[in-house]
Structure 1
Amino acid sequence: MFIKPIKSVFQEVSQVYLTLLKVMVPAIIVVKILDLLGGTQWLAAILAPFMELVGLPEQLGLVWATAILTNIFTAMVVFVDVTAQLELSVAQVSVIGILILISHSVPIEGAVAKMVGVSWRLTIGLKIGGGLLLAALVNWLYTALDYQQQAAVLLWQHEVKEQTLMQWGLDQLQMLISIFFIISALIILLRILKKIGVESLLQKLLSPIFKLLDITKDASNITITGITLGLSYGAGLLISEIKKGHISKKDVLLSISFLSLAHSLIEDTLLILLLGADVVAILWLRIIFAIVIVALLAKYIAIKESILLKPMSKSQ
């Protein structure tokens, strides 16, 4: 009775984990080589002005760069390594968490978005520009309110010590093994939430928001999938619906724009919470930010369409 579900979960976990290893292992090695060659300090110096803008130490520029090029898991690995000698507040972890959540996997997610007709320029603008803007706003808000300024509790914080390459390798292996169990727990949790109807509840709760964003019901159902599971899942369903002619280009644009800023809200949020971030910033403020930005984009599109239609109505 339980063999089939267990086998299914194990297969899904294995597929996700192996896919991540293909990206993470080379990235970890490259980052280590760069570190040995002084590349870490060089890259951090380039991104230092952006880090200062959002109230973070310049060393965290490497974490953001890693997230942009790879994924959340790899960025978490680098985060743990970089922050071993730093003491960050909950507010600061929340700020870097926002940068990771919005700006991660730009090459992969940008390519997926391009497949459904959304330009690289818009994707990069939303994921990198949007991430930086929200991070700056959260930093300003939390500083002004003197909120969450206490020291963050980091899950993978380790003792600062001189490491040989062998010790470093063993630490990374331990980290990779722990990620396997985290992925397993998250996938099981997602299945439970789906089983008890949380996804259906989310659809009912979010339907008024999608009306506000001018996203139709057909597109909103698919957007819900992306919100809970990830941009790639949502975009994959969009491709199928586009071929059937069920969804307009505007719906695709608005849906992907929303998912660029707020997707995989359950899994990704849980991961960043493990680093000691504040749920208000990385979940609720991220959702509000995505709604505001996409609502403005929808308004801009509506104004642009009305301007284009005026000459046609006059000619008639």
Structure 2
Amino acid sequence: MSLFIRRPTLLCWLCQSRAFSASYRRLVEQVAKSNPKPPVNAPKVVPPSPLTDAPRSYGKRVEEFTPTPLSRPIGLPYPPQVGQNTEKNKISRPYFRDWGNLQFHKGKTFIAPPRLFKGDLSLFFPNLYGRTLLKTDKEPRDTTPVLRGRVSVVSVFSSLWAENQCNSFVSKESNPAVEQIIAGSGDRAQHVRVNIEEDPLKAFLVRLWIGKLRQQLGERNYERYFLVRKGVSDEVRENIGLLNSKVGYTYLLDPDCRIRWAGSGPSEDHEREGLVKGLQWLLLDGNPDTKK
């Protein structure tokens, strides 16, 4: 009889215990929600990119656009590797498709930053794949082996107009100090040209002029000129700011292929000076104090 008398008491105690456990868990969850703790590796707040509102051939129509200085590093979050972005990669949108946007305006996409970006915060220039001016090797090559280990001024263009814009940053006539610094660097610095010609006819015409290009650039620069036909994906364009086929882009890379400085369109006085100072800093293995 004593067993049957104690059983209801035992069941009642178990119900109370379960009810308390459930209500306690709910109370803990409510307290946690009202007092959230930040995760240990919470990402820092990243300011908006100055390229967010820049016109794109595949984006919304932009009637007016005023370029602003780069407020943060641009580039890919991973280092370039040989074999990336080769001609076998598919392209989702043709680079020369005209959507009637300001994409084809011949001005600037962005203004160069006032100083170098810090090395540990800078992002990477992609590997690209194209034919060079070398006579002994007519097969396409990767850009990364040429860029890695040297300070590089990289001109990226897709037309004569855009190439002239790049030249306004680096040519002997517009900015002779760049050529002088490179010539006196003991092969620690270089100028690399990347001509993106995805249109078959235009690429064919460029190949017809290869002999003249060789004469203009000299044998030392044969391996530093790339005719890129394919592999420049939307991801690459978005990350390095290569948004306008009518505009030339100029990048300053450190030996790890990080983009430490970049300019677009025709150069301005302060941009030419910034490129020269940045080139000098990188050759001195410097990392200037900057709030970037």
Structure with the bigger RCO (C-alpha within 8 Å, sep 6+) is: 2
Compare CA radii of gyration and give the structure with the larger one: 2
Give the TM-score normalised by structure 2.
Answer: 0.25
User: Per residue, is there more helix in 1 or in 2?
Assistant: 1
Give the TM-score normalised by structure 1.
Answer: 0.24
User: Per residue, is there more strand in 1 or in 2?
Assistant: 2
